[in-house]
Amino acid sequence: MRLRAALLSTALSIAVAGCGAASGGGDGGQKRDAAQPPAPSSSTSPDPAAEAAKIAAGLPDVDLVGQLLMPFAYGNDAAKVSDGSRAGNQKVGGVDTPAQLVERYRLGGLILVRRASGDATAGTNPTSNIDSPAQVRTLTGGLQQAARKLPSRAPLLVGTDQEHGTVTRIRDGVTLLPSAMALGAATDPRLTEQASQVSATELAALGINVDFAPDADVTGGPGNDVIGSRSFGANPALVGQRVAAAVRGYERAGVAATLKHFPGHGHTSADSHEELPVLRQSRSQLIARDVAPFSAGITAGASLVMTGHLDVQAVDPGVPATLSRKVLVDLLRGQLRFKGVVVSDAMNMAAITKKYPAGEAAVRAVLAGNDILLMPPDLRAAQQGLLGAVRSGRLPRAQVVESATRILTLKTRLAATSQPAMSALNTPTNRARVGAAAAGAVTQFRGSCGGALIRQPVRVTGATGKHRDALAAALRRNGMRVDASAGETIHLVGYGEGAKDLQPAGVTVALDTPYVLSSARSPVLLAAYSGVPLSLEAVAAVIAGKARATGRSPVTVAGLPATACR
């Protein structure tokens, strides 16, 4: 395998050259670690984990610690950035460009984000380093070129949150999936698997090898709306089934899947972006209702598990799960037997930053069992905190070597997959596969099933102009007359504040969680759980009578059946 050969070559070259890497951290100190990597005994070793362990054990401390860091870098290009991005990188790490950040901090990975309105996680995204598919591919290529110059010569883990639905980082030029809750409503889990494989193939074409998805949280209902439609549903068995299907789709396409937010963020009313949520379930309830889908995803082969910033009262009260060995070592690695990479949720979230400064939080998170620290709020402080803890003995070097070994082993496996061409993006085949999932999700809660659901002409109201225009165009393609000033009303209910926008209509359509439909008085109620174009196309076909709503709500909507169309 290519990375295995690179790792072997690296071990030999570092041993001969004496590493030549600073161990003084991001300040560029010149002192070298005394330990040198052993030369490999054989270039045909069948055990990549063993070879990764040799490399990790011999890396200088700064390179070893660097493998554990996955920050955000400012700029849409690895080497050429705007003045604003240069200033951002100077603040983050005293450098100008993303490539320099990789070099100075010997980074093991970087995250790509896009700050957008309507995104539930926008508060922790400082800005965007995602613009277009072509730009992302150029950026990731430049970042990997920078990584190849490091002593480890291992490729970067390049991650993003492409959950689809409300948390979608890449929105242009790719096939957009409906939300997780939509996939939960589609009764065939194979639709989840094929849609996830489409998404992963397109991410791989862009140079992204880690997706922080699928969300394995089980939603507790309308009172626990922090996760909302990011969850597949309220039934642990259904969620576990869809999680496993998504994992198979991602991993088959060569993208590492990440289960989040362990041990489960679905039964919370607080948002860990703003405060530390408290889980008050008993241990038995926690295992049965929240942890079960994570177990299913682990069995399916998920490469990573993301920790949640959650106070799990039944396991380690008062301690965020991200900082708890009882949660990450005893429960996740012990009881669930997870052998892969543990990545923290963003370390710049208030649930962590309110408790500890960046350096101390980084040390505590690694001591607790995290392998990768995502988006530390102060990269220099996190790096120096870890280096100081290793040198003082507070953080055993052997534990950091174990984490780096898991990371390098994952990189070995990911590097064995060829990068798809850009022509793999948003193809007719991809749209057809995802369209089948979107169509399978449409759920009818009220009204006669079969045939056109409303008289013509029709007009579309609610949500955003983009949603209205897309549905109107889809209705016309399905043979319906649309008149913006007359006719029966089809009203779209959107996300967030838009979910409160209920008006009298012939048909009301929920484009996010369907709970709002319990208050709607329309004779026909539909849920698409998502406002992506393929979901609106599916809704149009149902309204026009060209298709039947076959979805079944994966959550309970007060006063309404799971489906009116049996």
Tokens for 271, please give them. 């948002």
Residue 67 and residue 57: Cα distance in Å, rounded? Answer: 12
Domain match, 326 and 463 both: no
Within-domain flag for 362: yes
Q: Rounded to an integer, what distance in angstroms lies between the CA atom of residue 420 and that of residue 141?
A: 13
The pLDDT of 205-210, averaged and rounded, is 98
Sequence-distant (6+) residues with CB within 8 A of 403 are 67, 68, 366, 370, 371, 372
- Whether residue 383 is found in the same domain as residue 464: no
pLDDT at 125: 57
> Does residue 329 share a domain with residue 285?
yes
Domain membership flag for residue 22: no
Report the pLDDT averaged over residues 242-270.
94
Q: Once rounded to an integer, what is the mean pLDDT over residues 257-274?
A: 85
- Angle, to 10 degrees, between the axis of helix 379-392 and the axis of helix 358-368? 60
Q: Which of 396, 424, 452 is the last residue of a domain?
A: 424
**Across 192-208, average pLDDT:** 98
Q: How far apart are CA 71 and CA 488, in angstroms?
A: 51
| 464 burial type by CB count under 10 A (0-12 exposed, 13-18 middle, 19+ buried) | middle
Note the pLDDT of residue 270. Answer: 61
Q: Please name which of 522, 530, 543 lies closest in space to residue 480, comparing C-alpha atoms.
A: 543
Give me the pLDDT at residue 271, please. Answer: 65
Is 39 among the domain residues? no
| Residue 123: predicted pLDDT | 55
Residue 58 in any domain: the answer is: no
- Burial of residue 227 (number of CB atoms within 10 Å: 0-12, 13-18, 19+): buried
- The closest alpha carbon to 460, from 539, 548, 565, 553, belongs to 539
Residues 173 and 294 both lie in one domain: yes
Tell me, what's the pLDDT at 46?
A: 62
Give the span between the Cα atoms of 130 and 77, in whole angstroms. 10
pLDDT score of 203: 98
Tell whether 472 is covered by a domain. yes
Q: For residues 112 and 246, state if they share a domain.
A: yes
Chain segment 431-484, per-residue pLDDT in tens: 999 999 999 999 999 999 989 999 999 999 999 999 999 999 999 999 999 998
Q: What pLDDT does 14 receive?
A: 33
Q: Which of 117-126, 211-220, 377-386 has the lowest mean pLDDT?
A: 117-126
Q: How far apart are CA 245 and CA 235, in angstroms?
A: 16
Report the alpha-carbon distance of residue 363 to residue 386 in Å, rounded.
6
Q: pLDDT at residue 34 above 90? A: no
116 and 150, same domain (yes or no): yes
Statement to judge: residues 394 and 472 lie in one domain: no
Same structural domain, 213 and 315? yes
Domain of residue 152, CATH code? 3.20.20.300
Q: Which pLDDT score is estimated for 141?
A: 98
- 559 found inside a domain: no
The pLDDT confidence band at residue 126, using thresholds 50, 70 and 90, is low
Model confidence pLDDT, tens digit, residues 297-337:
999 999 999 999 999 999 999 999 999 999 999 999 999 99
Which has the higher per-residue pLDDT, 351 or 185? 185
For residues 381 and 461, membership in a common domain is answered with no
pLDDT at 494: 86
C-alpha to C-alpha distances, 562 to 186, 491, 515, 518, nearest whole angstrom = 12, 21, 11, 12
pLDDT (0 to 100) of residue 8? 41
31 contact partners, CB below 8 Å, separation of at least 6: 22, 23, 24
Q: Which residues are catalytic?
A: 273, 345
Task: Tell me the mean pLDDT in the region 93-106.
Answer: 97
In which domain, by residue range, is 486 found? 442-543
Same domain (yes/no): 284, 400 = yes
Q: Are residues 468 and 354 in the same domain?
A: no
Q: Is residue 188 part of a domain?
A: yes
> Are residue 384 and residue 486 in the same domain, yes or no?
no
Confidence of residue 275 (pLDDT cuts 50, 70, 90): confident
User: Please, what is the Cα angle at 63 between 57 and 67, to 5 degrees?
Assistant: 90
Q: Please give the Cα distance from 262 to 247 (Å, whole number).
A: 15
The whole-angstrom separation of Cα 399 and Cα 78 is 31
Which pLDDT band, with edges at 50, 70 and 90, does 11 fall under?
Answer: very low
Residue-wise pLDDT for 493-514, tens only, equals 987 655 678 999 999 999 999 9
- Residue 372 backbone phi and psi in degrees, to 5: -125, 135
pLDDT at 495: 79
CA 343 – CA 108 distance, rounded (Å): 12
Span 60-78, mean pLDDT? 97
Domains in the chain, number: 2
| pLDDT band per the 50, 70, 90 thresholds, residue 33 | very low
CB within 8 Å of 520: residues ≥ 6 apart: 493, 502, 508
Mean of the per-residue pLDDT values of the chain: 90
Domain assignment of residue 27, yes or no = no
CATH of the domain at 465: 3.40.50
CB 322 within 8 A of CB 361: no
